Each structure stands twice: as C-alpha cells, then as structure tokens.
C-alpha cells in the first residue's frame, strides 16, 4: 500500500532468497534479532568507521563470492522442475534473455534521450513503468510467470514441479511449515496459524 502512494514500485529483493537458501534459516526470530543488531550498530559511529576502513578490493571480492552464491541458490529452485522439457528450457532461456536485454535497452535509451522509453504526461506513471523495466529480476519474473501460465500449463504440472510444492500450500501440509512460521514469544496461542 505504501508503494502505491510514492512514485516507486514495490519489487522483490533477490539477495534475500539467496541468503535464505544458503543459510537455511527462515525463522522470523532471526530476522528480528539481526534487525536489532543493525539498529544498535547504526547508532555506534565507531562500528561504521570499521566498515569504512575496509579496502574496496576486499568488498569487490566479497561481492563476487556473494552474488555468485546468490545466483546459484536462486537457480537451485529449478531442481524440482523437469529440465529435459523443451517447454521449461524455452521459458528459462527467454526469461533470462529478456531479463538482461530489456533493462539494458531502457538504460541506453534513458542515457541518450534523458528520459525513459515510457514518456507520457503522467510523471508518476513514467517513473513506475521505467523502474519496473530497469530491474532485470523483475522483467525476468514477469516474463517467466507469463510464459509459465500460458504455455500448455494444464498438462505439465509435474514438469513445472507443482506436486513437490503442493504440501507447502497449507500450514499443516508439512512439519517444516510450523518450524519456519511460528511466531516468537509463544504468540501462536493468541494468533493461531490457519
């Protein structure tokens, strides 16, 4: 709701998916504790000075390893699909290609014309549309979801990996759901999961 009131679009953060997949920690309590650490350390200026003293080459090396790990963990979700299916290979290939080429086109057009390809009299709409198409993961997600739900999707549930994910649709479908999604401080007594 907040994203609709300001001229920015809500988008997902692919690093969170990679971090969740690499650490295997999906608990809310871990997120709450790490948010507390971030708030606490942001108050201390000495802690920020410690990070500022790290050379850029070290940051670059850490980013190379981190983004490689994030990409591989993101691709590991494809292990439940049939990668021998031409339909799935087509969807993945086209979504990767368009996810890389459309944002690059939007960047080059914006650099040459000093405004994005979406150029109407509605400034907020232009910003919204241009920011969506400047994000590679968002473009790839839109293309992949569109193609996955339009290309022979009724007969290909097993190829799409749907039977494996079906047990996670309800809270009581798998024992791991309760472990991941319980509320902290025993609040499940007051707010029972559905």
Residue boundaries of the structural domains of the chain: 12-79, 82-160
Q: How far is 12 from 125, CA to CA, in rounded Å?
A: 19
| 100 membership: H or E segment, kind and range | helix 86-113
Task: Determine how many CB atoms are found less than 10 A away from the CB of residue 13.
Answer: 9
The 10s digit of each residue's pLDDT in 116-143 is 888 888 878 888 888 899 999 899 999 9
Q: Given its phi and psi angles, is residue 59 left (phi above 0), alpha (psi -120 to 50 degrees) or beta?
A: alpha
User: How many CB atoms sit inside 10 A of residue 91's CB?
Assistant: 21
Q: Quote the pLDDT of residue 165.
A: 76
Summarize the confidence of residues 44-64 as an average pLDDT: 86
Task: Express each pLDDT in 92-117 by its tens digit.
Answer: 999 999 999 999 999 999 899 888 88
The pair of three-digit structure tokens given for residue 122, joined into one six-digit string: 């509605």
Distance (Å) of CA 46 to CA 43, 50, 58, 74, 117: 9, 6, 20, 35, 44
185: left (phi over 0), alpha (psi -120 to 50) or beta: left
Q: Is the pTM of this model over 0.85?
A: no
Name the 3-class secondary structure at 84: coil
Number of Cβ atoms within 10 Å of the Cβ of 136: 17
């Amino acid at each position: 709701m907040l994203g609709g009131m300001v001229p920015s679009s809500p988008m997902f953060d692919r690093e969170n998916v990679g971090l969740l997949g690499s650490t295997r920690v999906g608990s809310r309590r871990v997120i709450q504790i790490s948010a507390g650490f971030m708030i606490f350390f942001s108050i201390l200026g000495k802690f920020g000075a410690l990070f500022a003293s790290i050379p850029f080459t070290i940051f670059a090396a850490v980013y190379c390893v981190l983004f490689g790990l994030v990409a591989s963990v993101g691709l590991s979700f494809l292990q439940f699909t049939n990668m021998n299916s031409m339909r799935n290979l087509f969807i993945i290939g086209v979504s990767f290609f368009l996810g890389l080429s459309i944002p690059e086109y939007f960047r080059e057009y914006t650099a040459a014309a000093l405004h994005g390809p979406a150029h109407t009299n509605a400034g907020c709409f232009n910003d919204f549309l241009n920011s969506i198409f400047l994000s590679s993961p968002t473009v790839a997600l839109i293309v992949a979801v569109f193609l996955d739900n339009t290309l022979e999707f009724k007969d290909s549930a097993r190829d799409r990996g749907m039977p494996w994910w079906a047990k996670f649709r309800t809270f009581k479908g798998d024992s791991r759901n309760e472990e991941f999604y319980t509320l902290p401080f025993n609040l499940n007594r007051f707010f029972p999961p559905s």
